[in-house]
Amino acid sequence: MKISPQEVERLAKLAWLKLDPEEVKRYSQELSSILDYVETLNQLDTSQVSPTYHVVPQKSHLRKDEIGRSLSQEEFLSMVPAHEEGAVKVPKIIDIE
């Protein structure tokens, strides 16, 4: 599977990573060779195999509906890069899709 520079740019946009042209070129090559390598999986017929997502099966944990300690506003805001009157501040949200 070849990952073209255009495809790298599409992925970088999905993942919101700013890449310089040199990086685009390099990732295009590296991802292509990694995907070539994983092609080996296609030797296996897995049509009858169910996928594993949780490797050690167990019951689902359910938590009682009880209120616990939250962070104080001060504790939270101390981590936030920019805030105003208790709210987290970001450059204006316009269509970022």
Partner 1 sequence: MNYETIIGLEVHAQLRTQSKIFCRCATEFHASENQNVCPVCMGLPGSLPVLNEKAVAFALKMAVATHCQIQPTSIFSRKNYFYPDLPKGYQISQYDKPLATAGVVEIVLENTSKKIRLHRIHMEEDAGKNVHGERYSYVNYNRAGIPLVEIVSEPDLRNAQEAAEYLRTLRSILRYLDISDGNMEEGSFRCDVNISLRPERSDRFGTKVEIKNINSFRFVENAILYEMERQRMCLEEGKRIVQETRLWDEHEGKTFSMRQKEEAHDYRYFPEPDLMPLEISAEWVSQIRSTLPEFEQVKKQRFMTQYQLTNYDAKLLVQEKSLADYFEQTVHRGGDPKLVCNWILSEVLREFEVSKVACSSLTPGHLAELICLIQKGTISGKIAKDVFEKILKQGKMPSQIVREEGLEQISDAAQLEKVIEFVVSEQGDLVKQYREGQKNKFSFLVGQIMKKTQGKANPKIVSELLKNKLEREDT
Partner 2 sequence: MEPFHLTIFESQALLKKKSLSAKELTESVLKRIEATQPKLNTFITLCEESALCCAKEVDEKRARGEALSPLAGIPISLKDIFLTRGMKTTCSSRILSDFIPPYDATVVDRLKKNDVVLVGKANMDEFAMGSSNENSYFGPVKNPWDLERTPGGSSGGSAVSVSAGQCLGSFGTDTGGSVRLPAALCSVVGLKPTYGRISRYGVIAFASSLDQVGPLGKTVQDVALLLEAVAGYDSFDSTSHPIPVPSYQTALKKDLKGLTMGIPDEYFREGIDPEVLKAVHTAIDQLQKLGAKRVKISLPHSSYAIPVYYLICTAEASSNLARYDGVQYGFRATASTLAEMYLKTRGEGFGREVKRRIMLGTFVLSSGYYDAYYKKASQVRTLIQKDFTEAFKQCDVIVTPASPTTAFKLGEKTENPLEMYLTDIFTTSVNLAGLPALVLPCGFDQKQLPIGLQLIGPHFKEERLFQMGHAYESATDWHTRKPSL
Name the site residues for partner 2 (rule: CB under 8 A): 3, 7-8, 11-12, 14-19, 23, 27, 30-31, 33-35, 37-38, 40-42, 44, 46, 49-56, 58, 60-61, 63, 71, 75-76, 78-82, 88, 90-94, 96
Interaction between residue 92 and partner 1 (CB under 8 A): yes
- The upper half-sphere exposure of residue 4, i.e. CA atoms within 13 Å in the direction of its Cβ, equals 3
Among 44, 49, 63, 81, binds partner 1 (CB under 8 A): 63
6 binds, among partner 2, partner 1, none (CB under 5 to 8 A by kind): none
Q: Among candidates 67, 88, 69, 70, which has minimal Cα distance to 78? A: 88
Contact between 86 and 77 under an 8 Å Cβ cutoff? The reply is yes
Show the tokens assigned to 43: 């030797």
Contact between 32 and 3 under an 8 Å Cβ cutoff? The reply is yes
Cβ at position 50, least distance to partner 1 in Å: 12
